[in-house]
Amino acid sequence: MKNVDFSRFNNIISLTSYFNTKEKCQQAIIDSRWSDGDVVCPYCGEHHCSKRSDGRFRCNHCLKNFSCLVGTIFENTKLPLIKWFVAMYLISSHKKGISSHQLSRDLDITQASAWYMLQKIRLLYPQSDAEAFEGAVECDEVYMRQGEVEAQIHENAPYPRSVNADQDSGVRHDGAHLHRGREG
Ligand SMILES: [Zn+2]
């Protein structure tokens, strides 16, 4: 999967100036998920999908409709996509990590929402991604070694999904990999 290339954005201003509509954000996600234009149904895995006039897709096999967000960390989110993009940009820029408190201030969102975003976005980064998380990442003022973070997410999450009302759709999240300036 090809990643969204944030390398052409030198700062948050250029990033937010470009991604100034929901549609542009969605197109970036579409390009990162299905870089060759071959849309894969997140429900049945078939490749024969058609684009609908409303921008969503329809699987010609199982006949289900879906948006480009289904099966990604952005699915069912109530936060604007641009805030997710800025969060990813900030996280990839802060080599030593960024706290949910800081992220909540930067994005003007609640600390609980920022915490939720951090957990989701960290899932996008493979353990070996030393560029993004060099050995340790900051987790709410506590520095944890890599690996412990993953364990914390799954076993110990103090904020349940009600924080963001994201619902488990039964779709396996393949994670749109949106790394700054990296190719997958
Ligand atoms: Zn399908």
Q: Assess contact for 114 and 122: CB atoms under 8 A.
A: no
CA of 63 to the centre of ligand 1 (A): 6
How is the chain split into domains, by residue range?
12-66, 81-163
CB neighbour class for 127 (10 Å; exposed up to 12, middle 13-18, buried from 19)? exposed
| Distance between Cα 4 and ligand 1 center (Å) | 25
103 alpha carbon – ligand 1 mean position (Å): 36
The alpha carbon of 169 and the centre of ligand 1 are apart by a number of angstroms equal to: 14
Dihedral Cα 161, 162, 166, 172, nearest 10 deg? 30
Residues contacting residue 79 through CB under 8 Å, at least 6 positions apart: 109, 113, 117, 164
Find the distance separating the first CA and the last CA of the chain, reported in whole Å: 6
- Which pLDDT value is given to residue 3? 58
1 CA to middle of ligand 1, Å?
A: 19
* 59 CA → ligand 1 middle, Å: 5
* Residue 161, CA atoms < 13 Å, CB-side half-sphere: 10
Distance, CA 44 to ligand 1 centroid (Å)? 4
CA of residue 172 to ligand 1 center, whole Å? 13
pLDDT tens string for the chain (184 positions)? Answer: 345 678 889 999 999 999 999 999 999 999 989 988 899 999 999 999 999 999 999 999 999 999 999 999 999 999 999 999 999 999 888 878 899 999 999 999 999 999 999 999 988 766 544 444 433 343 333 333 344 444 444 444 444 444 433 444 445 454 444 444 444 4
Distance 38 CA to ligand 1 centre (A): 13
Model-wide pTM > 0.85: no
Of 99, 129, 96, 126, the C-alpha closest to 115 is 99
Strands 136-139 and 65-66: unpaired
Phi, psi of 15 (to 5 degrees): -65, -50
Q: What local confidence, expressed as pLDDT, does residue 126 receive?
A: 61
Q: Which residues pair with 59 in a beta bridge?
A: 49
Q: How far is the CA of 58 from the centre of ligand 1 (A)?
A: 8
- Span from the CA of 170 to the centroid of ligand 1 (angstroms): 14
